[in-house]
A and B are shown apart, each in its own frame.
Chain A
Amino acid sequence: MIPALFVNYFAERTRESPINLAGARIVLGSYILWRGASIDVRALTEWPVHFITYLSFTHPPDGFEWVLIVEKFLLLVGTLFFIIGYRTRISSFIVGALFSHLTGVMRVMNLGGETDQMALGALCVFLFGLYCEQDELSVDGIRRTGRLSMKTLNERLQRPDDGRFSMTSLKLILLTLGISYAASPVARFFNPGWLAWASADNFARFLLVDGNELGLPGFDIIVNAPYLLTLFAVLTLVVEAGLLLSALTRLPITPMVIGLFGMHTAIALTVGLFFLDMFFFLLLLLSFDRIHASLSADREIDVVYDGNCYFCARSLQPFKLIDTKGSISWYNQYTAPDSYLDDERVDVEARMYVFVNGKPYGGYDAFQQLFKQFPETVPISMAMSIPPVAAVGERLYRYIAANRSRHFKCSVSTQFENQED
């Protein structure tokens, strides 16, 4: 498990599910949302003197400071769209552009690691948007299923898990992070040279100059241990250069990413929270799909749905995408075992069914069983079992099931089938 905790997208160009893209989108969007909401526009505009004058052009002219407030509002709204994967192409461009500009405005007063990392965040958003059509587990992905025929939807649900999903944006984000980290050891090679930089004396000075901000108990011991200091310095060089080298040589990147987490944690504990943003960026490489699979339920269930209901088949596509264990067998009234169809309690054209060890759960209860299958949706399943929620939910399900032809595209005509196929 540990060697594959983070994914080298140069070695593994495709995955069995699009979960990693969805996980990365949510982590990146949450970072932008938190960072963006924390930008104090008033403080940006009221400083009387610009420190970094060559970026002053990013500031709006006097009397137009309200533009930044509007930008911040649009950034937050756009980021919410980005997080859920709605119109990702345009929302990622808008979010990237607005976050870049606000970072530029902030940079006029704060040229340093903080705004460097924010700029890197904006670049990651741009990269994500460039290949957003690969992000199937999103609102856009669900919308795209509306272009598929009934036949295709049925085939997608019922075929074995042979789907492969490209992750080009995550591969480019890995490359971006690798290049960014490798910049430091490259610069140190030319000046002052790796030997001089990694000496115990030099590393001790880095620690001492900003002091022990959190009062770490072992700080004095570390500063007085030359071999330990040299070891830390060498490890720093190795993990910074190692991410790019591991990625390009298609070796596992997990040891390097864990090393970088360790390096940033050590810096945070000794000299300050200088690289907090990088934690978010490294998390983009997390193997969300493997964690998801290891936490998913082991039980095998059968789902029987109405194979003529377009709305039903579209609604079930996300469950198919996150079923990385292949624990769900999908059937409609034409393919289901006779034992299910002959059951007096079962009416497939009226409601969907989930069979657990042969026991049928229909309608609202069927969805509750489906949600119970996956770690991300277990809380929903638990909430659905609360009596008031269940009372409302059952009514809602009955209403939708009874009126799905009226409100959604449900019955499929032959003309539609021919047109789409």
Chain B
Amino acid sequence: MRKLCVGVFIVCLVVPNIAGIHIFPFVNLQKYTYAADDTVTQYEIRIVDEQGRELKLDPRAVEPIRPHKITDTFAEDYSADERNRTFEHIFWEVKSYREYIQSQPKIRRTALEFPEHDIEDRWTYSELEKYEAFTTVRIYKVNKTFVNDNTAVAIEREQVYEWSPDGLISESDTQ
């Protein structure tokens, strides 16, 4: 019986890893298996304060989501209603997270948690002090083009969505 279990286990493990599919909890670990295109498109979430100043989203504010995953799906698959509800959720999560950071707890909960994959854009108390109250969430489409024989990246940002608590979503032009 145990040998049968092991046999089934190995088959369930090999098939997703060869075929590149997922039969959860048997997943494949095919990572970075492609050839990168000349231009890579990503998305970026920014929070805007009353003065119009933008701040890139700290991924820890929107657990368990990885922000670039939000925006891939968001841009391609979501209906207007789904976008609106997601924007609203992000906005209130971000406000709550800002309050947490600015409350300056002696030991941050996030410091004890398993480290997240995204390590950039971490908000700090002193950085947040420079910003007024948050009013708006924006999503930018970011095109990264490899230049100079692939030794540098040229970045173009285009604002694709904006949301404020009055519930209006607008699609904006290139910045």
Q: Which residues of B contact A51 (CB under 8 A)?
A: 65, 69-70, 73
The number of chain A residues touching the other chain, given as a range, is 35 or more
**Is residue A12 contacting chain B, with contact meaning CB distance below 8 A?**
no
Closest CB in chain A relative to B20 CB, distance in Å: 6
Q: Which of B20, B63, B69, B150 contacts A112 (CB 8 A)?
A: B69
Stretch in contact with the other chain, from B78-86, B132-140, B164-172 = B78-86
Could you tell me how many residues of chain B have their Cβ less than 8 Å away from some Cβ of chain A? 54
**Is residue B107 contacting chain A, with contact meaning CB distance below 8 A?**
no
Q: Which of B64, B70, B86, B150 contacts A208 (CB 8 A)?
A: B150
A172 touches B146 (CB 8 A): no
Q: Which residues of B contact A3 (CB under 8 A)?
A: none
List the A residue with the shortest CB-CB distance to B29.
Answer: A180
**Is residue A238 contacting chain B, with contact meaning CB distance below 8 A?**
no
**Is residue B66 contacting chain A, with contact meaning CB distance below 8 A?**
yes
8 Å CB interface, A162-184 against B:
172, 175-176, 179-184
Given A214-B119, A274-B117, A183 and B30 touching (CB < 8 A)? Answer: yes
B82 touches A202 (CB 8 A): no
- Bound complex: CA A187 to CA B21 (Å): 12
- Bound complex: CA A204 to CA B144 (Å): 13
A272 touches B35 (CB 8 A): no
A273 touches B14 (CB 8 A): no
- Bound complex: CA A233 to CA B146 (Å): 18
Query: Which of A116, A120, A187, A204 has its CB near the most chain B CB atoms (within 10 A)?
Result: A187
Q: Which of B28, B78, B150 contacts A201 (CB 8 A)?
A: B150
Q: Which residues of A contact B65 (CB under 8 A)?
A: 47, 51, 109-110
- Bound complex: CA A37 to CA B113 (Å): 8
- Bound complex: CA A66 to CA B28 (Å): 31
Q: Which of A112, A182, A183, A200 contacts B66 (CB 8 A)?
A: A112
B2 touches A130 (CB 8 A): yes
**Is residue A359 contacting chain B, with contact meaning CB distance below 8 A?**
no
A107 touches B24 (CB 8 A): yes
- Chain A window 214-252, contacts with chain B (Cβ cutoff 8 Å), 1 for yes, 0 for no: 100000100110000000000000000000000000000
Given A104-B24, A112-B66, A113-B117, A206 and B36 touching (CB < 8 A)? Answer: yes
- Chain B window 14-50, contacts with chain A (Cβ cutoff 8 Å), 1 for yes, 0 for no: 1001101000111111111111100010100000000
**Is residue B13 contacting chain A, with contact meaning CB distance below 8 A?**
yes
A120 touches B27 (CB 8 A): yes
Stretch in contact with the other chain, from B4-12, B98-106, B123-131 = B4-12
**Is residue B156 contacting chain A, with contact meaning CB distance below 8 A?**
no
- Bound complex: CA A156 to CA B5 (Å): 33
- Bound complex: CA A197 to CA B64 (Å): 31
Q: Which residues of A contact B13 (CB under 8 A)?
A: 123, 176, 179-180
**Is residue A191 contacting chain B, with contact meaning CB distance below 8 A?**
yes
- Bound complex: CA A204 to CA B69 (Å): 23
Stretch in contact with the other chain, from A38-46, A136-144, A374-382 = A38-46
A187 touches B114 (CB 8 A): no
**Is residue B175 contacting chain A, with contact meaning CB distance below 8 A?**
no
**Is residue A67 contacting chain B, with contact meaning CB distance below 8 A?**
no
A192 touches B10 (CB 8 A): no
Given A112-B69, A208-B150, A123 and B113 touching (CB < 8 A)? Answer: no
Q: Which residues of A contact B64 (CB under 8 A)?
A: 39-40, 43-44, 106, 109-110
Closest CB in chain A relative to B141 CB, distance in Å: 15
Q: Lowest 5 CB-CB distances: which A-B pairs, in order?
A: A183-B17, A205-B36, A38-B113, A192-B35, A48-B85
16 A-B residue contacts at CB 8 Å? Answer: A39-B64, A111-B69, A119-B24, A119-B25, A119-B27, A130-B6, A179-B10, A183-B30, A184-B29, A184-B31, A187-B30, A188-B33, A201-B150, A205-B36, A209-B144, A223-B150
Apart from the given pairs A47-B89, A51-B69, A208-B150, 9 other A-B contacts in the complex at a CB distance below 8 Å: A47-B65, A114-B66, A116-B27, A187-B20, A201-B150, A202-B36, A211-B120, A224-B151, A272-B120
